[in-house]
Amino acid sequence: QFFVFCHGLLQLSQLLVSGYLKSSISTIERRYGLSSQTSGLLASFNEVGNTLLIVFVSYLGSRVHRPRLIGGGALLVSLAGFLMALPHFITGPYEYDRSVASTFSNTTDLCQPGAPGAWANLSDASCTPLASRENHEVLLVMFVAQALLGIGGVPIQPFGISYIDDFASERNSPLYLGILFSLTVVGPGVAFMLGSAMLRFYVDIDKVSTAEVQLTSKDPRWVGAWWLGFLVAASLVALCALPYFFFPREMPKEFPCPSRLCCVLSGFNSLVLPGFPVVLLRNLRHPVYLLVVLAQVNISAMVAGLATFMGKFLERQFSLTASLANMIIGAVNIPGAMVGIVVGGAILKRFQMSLRQCSALCVLGMLLCLLLAFPLLFLGCPTQKVAGVTHWDSSGFGHHDMACNARCRCPERGFNPVCGSDGVEYTSPCSAGCSSVTLRPDSSVLNYSGCSCVGGPGPAGVARPGTCGTGCSHLFVPFVVLSCLAGILASTSHTPSFMLILRSIQPEDKSFAVGIQFMLLRVLAWMPGPVLYGSAIDTSCVLWERRCERRAACRYYDNSLFRHR
């Protein structure tokens, strides 16, 4: 029981490390200028190390000292977590465009007629050879960390499960495994809550004093302390790894094991390599097995993409902070999926379903999920009006043909969004033609005035700092409710689909078939899912940030395209 307790904690903290990346992905994109395709590849890269080794390690099975191998794997996972945080410590402080001279820079992004001198250096200063090398180093470190995370995670689950199943009584084994399984579902939820907590702090909390930070977490330039969560999670994994070095290689069994049934679950231990291709073909030719696994591949690819980018989607569609988006996912969507899994299992148990009824339950769950998810195509916000990006004016009020700021000689890559009194957003005070700024006592910006591009009703030529937002927060609650319900319905098919696989194949192939199933899920769903989603999201971008002549992170999306794709 102590082993089960330790293993539960270890699995939970391992999932914290891998799940935390997904909760801070939009923040890391902004901080290091990554496209969603790149960040999607990063998020799924841990599966690469994992897949290459899982069959080999499962084959070793009971020939090795399993607890020690689990401990070693956990230490690798912990190292990976610390490596993920390393880029924060090897790069300089986060720089963003600002209109008030500060200790960092004496440039300003107000309209300064006939003074191109101040601008020329701004755009080139940030692009030293050092800066572009720094960027490659960051990516390299993160990809290596993700690969290590995958490799370290390999022994944890198969060895833990087979160790428990070998030495637990037949009566208790399902209970112990059930506890572990439920923790693997809770883990990601906890990770998103951790992200929600950490992203409220400013990224350079350890490098600059709070007085010097002129951003609030609502500002589109805000970057939260993404690295803090990795330190927390990695430390937890390191702590959980220690007891494993003191467990024996074998334990006395709780009660004697009369049948071979309880040994079926012990991973691939019974698998002999010469018979490998025969069994593989026998399973893949089995129509029920093949169809169910393909269905699971499709669902899993969707879950993998959503888990990675759902936070970013909520941030962009409903103008939420990264912290709030994570809170919603961790507190609403993931618990919803857990409820669905439990309900599906309960229905199975209550009605003692046949295989045909199992498949009917799966189909029903999916159809209802589709019905509820369909309105989500329309529940979202229109793209905000951004002058010169998504909005060109012809009303005669404002002069968005940009002649109004020609005298300002704005830099192309300035980004410090302001919201004009005419409800149009501008990428910087300079592009709105604003010539002066009013400060609050704490030296944060109150508003900009004398803005030659801001027309329309109300006081001419005033703009407030920050984005105008998408202005449809009333659709947010219906969206969350529907997506949560759709998730509950989809996940009711989780247990029945597993039963379909376990009951339709020959008993001696069971552990192998489950192994193949997870292998296919990894290769066909968990790996490509986030990359495909990221690429689709990138196609809906309307304004890219440029860093050193390369395309960096996306500044503005076409919201409707983003939603539909």
pLDDT tens digits, 106-165 = 456 777 776 554 444 455 455 667 777 778 889 999 999 999 999 998 888 878 877 887
Per domain, the residue ranges of the chain are: 1-112+127-252, 276-382+469-564, 385-467
339 closest CA partner among 513, 485, 437, 533: 485
- Residue 106 has a pLDDT of 45
- The pLDDT, as a whole number, for residue 286 is 83
Q: State percent of the chain over pLDDT 70.
A: 87
Q: Which residues pair with 387 in a beta bridge?
A: 391
Interior/surface letters 256-291, b for 16+ CB within 10 angstroms, e for the rest: ebeeeebebbbbbbebeeeeeeebeebbeebeebee
Q: Residue 390: its pLDDT value, please? A: 82
List pLDDT tens digits, range 458-489: 556 888 888 887 778 889 999 999 999 999 99
pLDDT score at 192: 94
* Lowest-confidence segment of 30-44, 123-137, 172-186, 529-543 by average pLDDT: 123-137
Output the pLDDT for position 518.
Answer: 80
Highest mean pLDDT among 415-419, 469-473, 477-481, 509-513: 477-481
Give the C-alpha separation, 340 to 337, whole Å: 5
Query: What is the model's pLDDT at position 263?
Result: 43
User: Which tens digit of pLDDT belongs to each residue from 263-285?
Assistant: 444 444 444 655 667 777 777 78
pLDDT tens figures, 318-373: 988 999 999 999 999 989 988 898 888 888 888 888 889 999 999 999 999 999 99
pLDDT of residue 268: 43
Quote the strand ranges of 383-531, DSSP E.
418-420, 425-426, 436-439, 445-449, 462-465
Q: Are 9 and 233 in contact (CB under 8 A)?
A: no
Residue 125 one-letter amino acid: A
- CATH of region 1-112+127-252, choose from 3.30.1330.10, 2.60.40.10, 1.20.1250.20, 2.40.50.140: 1.20.1250.20
Kindly report, residue by residue over 56-87, the tens digit of the pLDDT: 776 666 578 889 999 999 999 999 999 999 99
Global pTM exceeds 0.85: no
- Sign, CA dihedral 30-36-37-42, equals positive
What DSSP letter does each residue of 242-275 carry, written as one string?
GGGGGS-SS---SS---SSHHHHTSTTTT--GGG
pLDDT computed for residue 145 by the predictor: 96
Roughly how many angstroms between the first and final C-alpha of the chain, as a whole number? 47
Arithmetic mean of pLDDT, 398-419: 72
549: left (phi over 0), alpha (psi -120 to 50) or beta: left
Rounded mean pLDDT, 499-506 = 81
Decide if pLDDT at 10 tops 90.
Answer: yes
441-457: per-residue pLDDT in tens?
Answer: 877 788 888 888 887 65
Domain 276-382+469-564, architecture per CATH: Up-down Bundle (1.20)
Q: List Cβ neighbours of 282 (8 Å cut-off, separation of 6 or more).
A: 506, 509
Give 554's strand partners. Answer: 544
- Mean pLDDT confidence for 83-109: 74
What confidence score (pLDDT) does residue 143 get? 95
pLDDT, the chain, mean: 83
The alpha helices in 285-414, defined as continuous H runs, are 287-318, 322-328, 334-351, 355-373
pLDDT of amino acid 265: 42
- Write the pLDDT tens digit of every residue in 524-563: 999 999 999 999 999 999 999 888 777 888 999 999 999 9
Asked if 462 and 449 count as a contact pair (C-beta separation under 8 A), the reply is yes
Give rounded-to-5 percent helix, strand, coil for the chain: 60, 5, 30
Nearest-angstrom CA–CA distance, 304 and 43: 9
One DSSP character per residue, 93-154 reads ------SS--SS-----S--TT-HHHHHHHHHHT--HHHHHHHHHHHHHHHHHHHHHHHHHT
Q: Name the residue with higher pLDDT: 114 or 379.
A: 379
| 8 Å CB contact between 279 and 507 | no
Q: From CA 65, how far away is CA 394, in angstroms rounded?
A: 74
Per-residue tokens: 2: 């102590």
For residue 78, the model assigns a pLDDT of 97
Return the higher-pLDDT residue of 45 and 134.
45
Percent of the chain at pLDDT exceeding 90: 40
| Residue 403 burial (10 A CB sphere; 0-12, 13-18, 19+) | exposed
Dihedral of CA atoms 456, 457, 459, 465 in degrees, nearest 10, equals -60
CA distances from 363 to 152, 374, 387, 498 (A): 37, 16, 47, 14
**Residue 140, class by beta-carbon neighbours within 10 Å (0-12 exposed, 13-18 middle, 19+ buried)?**
exposed
Which of 556, 544, 303, 530 lies closest to 426 in space, CA to CA? Answer: 556
Ramachandran region of residue 433, left (φ > 0), alpha (ψ -120 to 50) or beta? left
The yes-or-no answer to whether 1-112+127-252 and 276-382+469-564 have a common fold is yes
pLDDT tens digits along 245-255: 999 988 887 76
